[in-house]
């Protein structure tokens, strides 16, 4: 357990999410197609869930971010020199990252003019440098993961089909310039590989999502949220904010948080951690609502005078809003003083909480897709894993994404915690009035 190290001094994170030997007892990662459930679900998630959000903020401007210039930008006025002429189109997998603020998730909406998404803007930037939109639409696209509204990604592989590239570095630079020129300052491309270089056939029908063994996410929350909060700090957001800046978590408190969050380890039914209307969807698609959580790791970081708890989840797959509901449930159990054994057992069995309360959905701003991990028992998986060891993506993570996450997550968490604690105080008061005890 690490205490109070600045974010810029994070340890090497590239290898931190491989399934550790100590978790072997939970079972080896499966290789069936259910791993791509998250990706396939995204196609039908579109307008309904996006319209439910009250956040109408625009996309991030260059002034809102830290150092985004981790790659040189090459201005390309047309597509001359980027593509092989007369050659048959090839599949490519492109490594990219982004800050999710202001976007309605990754996947392009099927409704014209609906919501601004990462993929929609990416395709627009690709079209400007000569990538054929008709070729992409005909062949379709795929991603190693999809993210929801407001969620960020440090490493995501995007799969598409285009004419063979003459110079991959030139293509990357041209695409990054095209993205910046249309205002997408927080979306960057780091690397690209032709399917044939992965040992796959040019016409291969394997999806990037199906090659994934696991996916790693970080949830960065001010550490005060996972510790007892004095009653004077629960009266309003201002009091909560003042308490947040002065709070520092002890080793004993961190150990208690780890004990709580480690209860998610192993294979469980997570139907209680997704939207109710989505449970039937998963059952109809035969994906089910079970998933295997391989790793839960906690550490403490400090940035902008605030101490953050960094929680890393590594799992085979994730349901819609699963991590945000997991964090909301953990905060509810902690601050509602709920019995850990009975309440965790109840939700893993797909039932209601014994306490008869609803699981609150934690904010999206602290959530970050760190990276996928691919099956290394095939050449393609090993190559893609090696591509993830990328200095440019690591620089983008530390210089752009993390500073933004730490700034943007404070107010949503403060507001969330004020509402949660005031609700639990009222709930605890009702419980004690029924039992005749004092709160």
| Cβ(110)–Cβ(157) below 8 Å | no
DSSP-assigned letters across all residues of 164-208: PBS-HHHHHHHHHHHHHHTT-TTEEEEEEEEGGGGT--TT----G
* pTM of the predicted model as reported, rounded to 2 decimal places: 0.81
For residue 122 the two structure tokens come to 């990416």
| 168 contact partners, CB below 8 Å, separation of at least 6 | 192, 193
Query: The tokens of 220 are what?
Result: 């960065």
Q: State pLDDT tens for residues 195-219.
A: 889 887 655 667 888 899 999 999 9
Specify the DSSP element, H or E, that contains 156.
strand 152-162
Whether the CB-CB separation of 173 and 81 falls below 8 Å is answered with no
pLDDT-derived band at 423, boundaries 50, 70, 90: confident
| Of 291, 216, 225, residue with least CA distance to 257 | 225
pLDDT digits (tens, 9 = 90+) for 90-135: 899 999 999 999 899 998 876 666 688 999 999 999 999 999 888 8
Helix or strand or coil: residue 33? helix
- Quick one: average pLDDT of 231-237? 88
The tokens describing 343, both together, are 């309440």
pLDDT for 244-287, tens place per residue? 999 999 999 999 999 999 999 999 999 899 988 888 778 777 67
pLDDT band per the 50, 70, 90 thresholds, residue 81: confident
Q: What is the pLDDT of residues 29-54, one digit of tens each?
A: 333 322 232 332 233 333 333 333 33
CA dihedral 337, 254, 233, 431 (to 10 degrees): 0
Residue 271 gets which letter from DSSP?
G
């Amino acid at each position: 357990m690490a205490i109070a190290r600045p974010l810029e001094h994070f340890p090497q994170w590239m290898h931190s999410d491989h399934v550790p030997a100590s978790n072997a007892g939970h079972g080896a990662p499966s290789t069936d197609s259910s791993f791509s459930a998250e990706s396939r679900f995204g196609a039908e998630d579109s307008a309904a869930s996006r319209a439910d959000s009250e956040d109408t903020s625009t996309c991030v401007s260059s002034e809102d971010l830290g150092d985004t210039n981790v790659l040189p930008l090459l201005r390309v006025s047309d597509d001359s020199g980027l593509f092989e002429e007369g050659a048959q189109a090839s599949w490519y997998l492109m490594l990219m990252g982004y800050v999710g603020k202001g976007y309605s998730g990754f996947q392009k909406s099927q409704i014209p003019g609906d919501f601004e998404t990462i993929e929609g803007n990416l395709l627009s930037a690709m079209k400007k440098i000569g990538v054929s939109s008709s070729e992409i639409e005909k062949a379709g696209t795929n991603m190693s993961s999809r993210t929801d509204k407001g969620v960020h990604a440090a490493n995501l592989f995007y799969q598409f089909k285009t004419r063979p590239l003459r110079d991959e570095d030139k293509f990357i630079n041209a695409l990054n310039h095209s993205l910046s020129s249309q205002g997408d300052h927080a979306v960057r491309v780091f690397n690209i590989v032709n399917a044939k270089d992965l040992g796959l056939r040019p016409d291969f029908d394997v999806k990037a999502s199906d090659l994934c063994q696991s996916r790693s996410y970080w949830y960065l929350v001010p550490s005060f949220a996972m510790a007892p909060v004095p009653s004077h700090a629960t009266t309003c957001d201002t009091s909560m904010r003042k308490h947040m800046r002065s709070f520092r978590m002890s080793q004993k408190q961190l150990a208690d948080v780890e004990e709580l969050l480690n209860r998610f380890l192993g294979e469980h039914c997570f139907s209680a951690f997704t939207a109710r209307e989505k449970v039937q969807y998963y059952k109809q698609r035969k994906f089910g609502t079970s998933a295997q959580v391989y790793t839960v790791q906690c550490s403490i970081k400090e940035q902008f005078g605030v101490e953050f708890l960094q929680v890393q989840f590594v799992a085979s797959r994730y349901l819609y809003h699963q991590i945000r509901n997991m964090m909301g449930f953990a905060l509810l159990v902690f601050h509602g003083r709920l019995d850990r054994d009975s309440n965790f057992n109840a939700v893993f069995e797909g039932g209601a909480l014994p306490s008869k309360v609803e699981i609150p959905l934690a904010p999206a701003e602290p959530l970050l897709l760190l990276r996928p991990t691919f099956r290394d028992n095939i050449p393609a998986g090993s190559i893609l894993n090696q591509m993830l060891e990328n200095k440019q993506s690591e620089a983008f993570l530390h210089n752009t994404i993390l500073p933004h996450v730490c700034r943007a997550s404070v107010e949503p968490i403060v507001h969330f915690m004020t509402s949660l604690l005031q609700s639990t105080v009222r709930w605890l008061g009702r419980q004690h009035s029924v039992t005749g005890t004092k709160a």
